[in-house]
Structure 1
C-alpha cells in the first residue's frame, strides 16, 4: 500500500551543517508529509522535482516551534524544528497559521514515537543553545516537551450553571478583535474571537489579561474589547457628544475618502456611524457628502450589531474593525477615524508590517515606460545599483490615500511567488511604488511571444507558480480580485509571480462585497461577482481557472470576439470556455472544477496546489 499524502507545500529549510565546515544557507524546498516520511525536493521550472532529503517519521523525537528574537535572514519568518536521530532540521514557514498546520500534522503522526521529555525552544547558534547557553548540541532540552499540539487544546465549554473561577477573582471577560503576536516577553498572544479575562485596564496603551491556561500578560488595548460592553472611549473613532451637524462639518473639512466616526445617536442607547465619501451614489446624491448609518441591533438575547444585512457582530468594535477592511453594503469602507480636533489616522491596525521603507527621490533613477494600467504607469528604474520597476500614480485617476493603501496591502504580503515591493517614494509627485524587476514582463505577452516553443511541463510549472502564490494569499486571508495572466510577471529565470495588488483586499470571513461603482474584469469573473459583486477566495479560484486556460492557449484572450454582455449570458446559461488544444485532460478537469457554478463546490488553492503538484510528478 502506498503511503497517504497528509500535507505539502513550499517552505524554506536551513542547512543542517552536519560538518563543521558545512556552509550555512537557506533554500526553498517543496515539502511533502505522508504517513511514512517527511520529504523535501528542489523544484525547477520545466523539470521534474529532485529529491533532496527524506526523514522517516519513526525517527522523529520532537516537533516544535522555535521562539527566538534572533534576526531571521530568509524571507519566511516563522521557524519550527524537527529533531530526528541525532540531527536538527530547522524549517521556516511564511506565516504562523502555516507553521501551526505543519506542527500539528507532524505531532499527530509521531505521537507514538520514542519522544524527548525536554526540548530547546531556541536555535543552536555559534556552538551553543541560545535558550540555555549549553554548548553540547545533543544536551538535554531546557523546556518540557508536550507531544500534543498547543493549538489543538481547547478548554471544555462552560455549562450555563457554572462560572469559571480565576485566581484573581471575578474580572470582566474580553474578546480578541484580531490575532496578536507579541514582541515583548511580558506580552501574551491573542487569537481572534477567543475570550480572555481582564485583570487590569489602568494603562491607556496596554491592558493585563489572563488566558484560559492561567497565563497572564499584556496586550494592546485596541486589540481587545469588553464582551457585551459599551466602553468605546479608548477607540479613536468614538466621539461621544458629537451632533449630526458638527460631524458633517468636521468630516467635510477633513475631506478624506472614508473618513468616519461613531457617535451617540439622537435615539438614546443607539449609535450612528458617519462617513465621508466622494463616490457617486445611485440616486445622484450631491458630491462630496456625508452618509449616516445607524448601528442596528437584532432582537435576540444577547443582541448582535450590524450596519448591513448578514454582517452580524457580538460587539460594536468588532463591527467597526470589519468595516474598516470591507465596505460590505456601505458607500465606502471606513478608512480614517476622525477625532474631535480633526486629526485622523490612516492606519487600520498598528502592525509594524504596515510600515514601508521610504525611498529617497535622489536614490531613484527613472527610465523608459514598461506599461500602464487604469490607475498607474510602470517605468523601468534603478535604485541602489539595482534594476527595479517603478509604479507611479496617474494624477486624477486615484487618490493618494488609495495608492498608499495598495502599498500597505503589498507590504503585508511576502512570498517567493509574489512580486516583491521594495519600498515607497512619497517625497516626489506623483508618489510611486518600487518593485523587484521582472525581466520577461507579463505572462500573457510572454506566452504570445513563445507560441509553439513551450513544453507541457513548462506550462504546468507556470500554473504551479501562480497557484502557489495564490495559496499563500488564501492562507493569509487576502483575495486578489484581479487575477489574470496580464497581472502575473515572469522573472529572468522564467519563474512566474503574481502581481498587481491594486484590487487586493484583506478579509475576515473570506468574503468581500464591493461597492456598486467598482469595475472588475468580466471575462475572468464568476457568476456571483457579475451578479452580486461578491468576492472571495473561491472567486479567485474561478479566475485561476481562466489563467490556466490562458497558459494552455499560449496567451490567447478568453472569449475572443465576444462582448461582456454575451459572456455574461453564456455563463448564466451554464456554458464554459472550451478545452485548450494543448491542455491534458487532467488539467482541463481542474479548470472545470474551478468553474463550478456554486463557490462552495470549487476547490481551495491548497487543494489545487496538491493536485497540480501530483500531475508534475507523473
Structure 2
C-alpha cells in the first residue's frame, strides 16, 4: 500500500553543511510530506524532479517555528526547523499561514516519536546557537518543547535566569506589529501595554487593554513617561528668563538646556545654549546665544505637546527625550541637562539600578589600547574574561549622552556587532565594558597585514559588516559613522561593527543633524554634506567607501585631496574612480551602486548582503 500524501508545496531549505549563512545556501525545493517520510526534490524544467533528500518520520525529534532577528537572505521569510537524527533542517515558508500548516502537520505525524524535551528556538550559525550561545550543535535545547503546540501564555519564567516585572510598567507601541506565531500579540502604534516579563533580550511578554497576553519585539515599544516633570533634572521651577540665560552661559556647554516655567501659568519654555549660531557685539566680536522655545499644546480633548509642529508628543518628557536625540527644527539637539539644583557629576540612577551595572571592583584594567571618541580604551578583565573598557572623559560627555549610547548598545544584539557587557556609573570616569576583539581596529589590521590577505578574506570582511548593517537597517537604526576605523577584528578574522556613539534610533528612517554638526566628509553622502540628512541610504554610501577601504588594505579614501576638495568633487558627481587592485569588478560595481546620487537609487543593506553573499560563494 502506497503512503498517503499529506502536504506538497514549494519551499526553501538551507544547506546544513555550509559554514556561512548566505543566499546561495538557500535552495528552492518541492517538499512532500506523506505518512512515512518527508521528501524534497529539485525542480527541473521539462524534466522529472530529482530527489535531493528524504527524512523518515520516525527519526524526527522536534518540529518548531524558528524565532530569530537575523536577516533572512532568501525570498521566503518564515522559517521552521526539523530536528532528526543528529541534524537540523531549516525550511522557509512564504507566509506564516503556510508555515503553521506545515508545522502542525509534521507535529501531528510525529507525536508518537521519541521527542526532545527542550529545543533551540533560534538558528545554529557561526559555530554557536544564537539563542543560548552554546557551541555544541548537539547541546540540549534551552526552551521547553511542546509537541502538541499547547504552549502556555505567557511562558513560565525560569527563576534562575529570568525575572518578572514586580512593578507595573506601561509601554507604548512605536509601530504596528503583526504576529508571526500563536504566542505573539499584535501591537497597534501609540497604544499602551503592560509589561508582564522583560527578561528576554529581544522579546517581551506584554498585556493589552483587553487582557490578552503575548510576546512582542522589545524594540517596537518604549516606556511610557508620565507628564509629571518636577522629578526630572532638566526642570527648573520658578526660574526667570534672565536667570536661565546666566546659568546656561556659565555652564558654557553647546546644547546645554533646561525646561522652566513661562510667564503664563501652566506654560513651559525650553531654553537652549548654543555656540553654533552666534550674534555679534558692537565691537565685531561674536558671543554665544541662548534660544527660548515655548512648549505648545494641540487643541481638543487629547492634548499633545510640541516645539516644532511636525513633531508632536503625548507628554513633555517624551518631547524632551525625542529632542535629546534629534534637533528636528531646533537650533541644536538637547545635549546637556543644566540645573541649579543638580550638578553634572551626579550618576545615572536609571542605569545603576539595572542588571547592566558592573561594580568597579569587578574590573581590572591591564593596559591602554588607545584613544577613542570619548576617552581612553583599556584592555581589562571582568570575572577572568578579557574585555575592552571605554572610559568617558570628564566634562566631554554628559550623563545623558552616556546613557544614550549605553541604551543604544543594550538594545542591539547581533553576532556582527561588538557586544556591550555592562556599564560602570558608580565612579568617575564612567566606563562602557565591551567584548574584547583581539585584532583591534580594522584599519590598523588591514595596514599591518597588507599583502597577506586574500580576496576571499577581504570579501568575508565586507560580508560580515553587511550582515551587521542589515540587522541595524531592519531594526530602524542608522549608524552615521560607518568606516573601517569603527570596526574591530576578532582572533579568527571576524569583523564586527563598533562605536555607536553617533547612532540614532529613528522611526522614519531619517535623522537631520543640527546646524554645525561635524561629520566624516570622506565617508559622507551628498545629502549629508549638503543638508545634514542621515538615513539608512547614507549608511549605504558609507558602506561603499568602507568596501573601498577594505580592498585598498586600509588606504585613506581620497588621500590626495583635502576635505574641501572632496566636497567639490562630490558636488561635481565624481567618485572614488580608482578600483583597488584586489577588488573584483563585481564588488566595485556594488561600490558604485552604493554611490548613486539619489538615496532612493541606492540598494538596501538586505540587498547588498544578498549580492555579497552570492559573490562570496562564487567569486
Deviation at residue 617 of structure 1 after TM alignment: 2.2
Q: How many residues align?
A: 504
- Cα offsets for 1:159-198 (capped at 9, x unmatched): xxxxxxxxxxxxxxx99453699xxxxx996736245799
For residues 115 and 256 of structure 2, the distance between their equivalents in structure 1, rounded to whole angstroms, comes to 49
Give the direction of change, closer, same or farther, for the CA distance of 1:293–1:548 in structure 2 (3 Å limit).
same
Give the direction of change, closer, same or farther, for the CA distance of 1:96–1:530 in structure 2 (3 Å limit).
closer
Deviates more, 1:407-416 or 1:88-97: 88-97
Deviates more, 1:346-355 or 1:302-311: 346-355
Give the direction of change, closer, same or farther, for the CA distance of 1:358–1:224 in structure 2 (3 Å limit).
closer
C-alpha contact 1:392 1:431 (8 A) present in aligned 2: yes
User: In the alignment, does 2:608 pair up with 1:608?
Assistant: yes
Deviation at residue 321 of structure 1 after TM alignment: 4.8
Mapping for residues 435-450 of structure 1, pairs under 5 Å: 435-450=434-449
- Cα offsets for 1:498-521 (capped at 9, x unmatched): 111221222222111222232111
Q: Secondary structure at the match of 2:66?
A: strand
C-alpha contact 2:227 2:315 (8 A) present in aligned 1: no
Deviates more, 1:420-429 or 1:337-346: 337-346
Aligned residue for 1:520? 519
Aligned residue for 2:187? 191
Where in structure 1 are there 5+ consecutive unaligned residues? Answer: 1-33, 62-83, 131-135, 146-173, 182-186, 199-206, 226-230
Give the direction of change, closer, same or farther, for the CA distance of 1:216–1:437 in structure 2 (3 Å limit).
closer
Q: Secondary structure at the match of 1:283?
A: strand
C-alpha contact 2:235 2:258 (8 A) present in aligned 1: no
Give the direction of change, closer, same or farther, for the CA distance of 1:243–1:333 in structure 2 (3 Å limit).
same
Q: Secondary structure at the match of 1:467?
A: helix
For residues 365 and 235 of structure 2, the distance between their equivalents in structure 1, rounded to whole angstroms, comes to 50
Aligned residue for 1:148? none
Q: Secondary structure at the match of 2:277?
A: coil
Cα RMSD between the aligned structures?
Answer: 5.4
C-alpha contact 1:392 1:433 (8 A) present in aligned 2: yes
Give the direction of change, closer, same or farther, for the CA distance of 1:536–1:572 in structure 2 (3 Å limit).
same
Aligned residue for 2:497? 498
User: In the alignment, does 2:100 pair up with 1:107?
Assistant: no
Given candidates 178, 182, 185, the residue that maps to 2:174 is 178
User: In the alignment, does 2:270 pair up with 1:274?
Assistant: yes
Given candidates 37, 41, 51, the residue that maps to 2:12 is 37
Q: Secondary structure at the match of 1:551?
A: helix
For residues 229 and 70 of structure 2, the distance between their equivalents in structure 1, rounded to whole angstroms, comes to 30
For residues 609 and 339 of structure 1, the distance between their equivalents in structure 2, rounded to whole angstroms, comes to 47
- Cα offsets for 1:443-494 (capped at 9, x unmatched): 1122222222222211111100011111112222221111111111111001
C-alpha contact 1:38 1:57 (8 A) present in aligned 2: no
Q: Give the TM-score, by structure 2 length.
A: 0.65
C-alpha contact 2:483 2:542 (8 A) present in aligned 1: yes
- Cα offsets for 1:268-318 (capped at 9, x unmatched): 89x544145465533369988754213457999999865347546688776
- Cα offsets for 1:22-46 (capped at 9, x unmatched): xxxxxxxxxxxx953231556658x
Deviation at residue 574 of structure 1 after TM alignment: 0.7
Give the direction of change, closer, same or farther, for the CA distance of 1:492–1:585 in structure 2 (3 Å limit).
same
Mapping for residues 19-34 of structure 1, pairs under 5 Å: none
Where in structure 2 are there 5+ consecutive unaligned residues? Answer: 1-8, 36-58, 80-92, 121-143, 154-169, 178-182, 195-205
Aligned residue for 1:358? 358
Deviation at residue 607 of structure 1 after TM alignment: 1.4
Deviation at residue 610 of structure 1 after TM alignment: 1.2
Deviation at residue 385 of structure 1 after TM alignment: 2.0
For residues 560 and 101 of structure 2, the distance between their equivalents in structure 1, rounded to whole angstroms, comes to 61
Mapping for residues 523-542 of structure 1, pairs under 5 Å: 523-542=522-541
Q: Secondary structure at the match of 2:434?
A: strand
Aligned residue for 2:279? 283
- Cα offsets for 1:208-231 (capped at 9, x unmatched): 9636xx8489x9998569xxxxx9
- Cα offsets for 1:527-575 (capped at 9, x unmatched): 1111111111111111000011111112111101200110001101111
Give the direction of change, closer, same or farther, for the CA distance of 1:388–1:597 in structure 2 (3 Å limit).
same
Deviates more, 1:547-556 or 1:187-196: 187-196
Deviates more, 1:282-291 or 1:440-449: 282-291
Deviation at residue 373 of structure 1 after TM alignment: 3.5
C-alpha contact 1:391 1:434 (8 A) present in aligned 2: yes
Mapping for residues 80-159 of structure 1, pairs under 5 Å: 87-89=62-64, 91-94=66-69, 102=78, 105-110=94-99, 115-116=104-105, 127=117, 140-142=148-150
For residues 301 and 430 of structure 1, the distance between their equivalents in structure 2, rounded to whole angstroms, comes to 47
C-alpha contact 1:41 1:50 (8 A) present in aligned 2: no
Deviation at residue 523 of structure 1 after TM alignment: 0.1
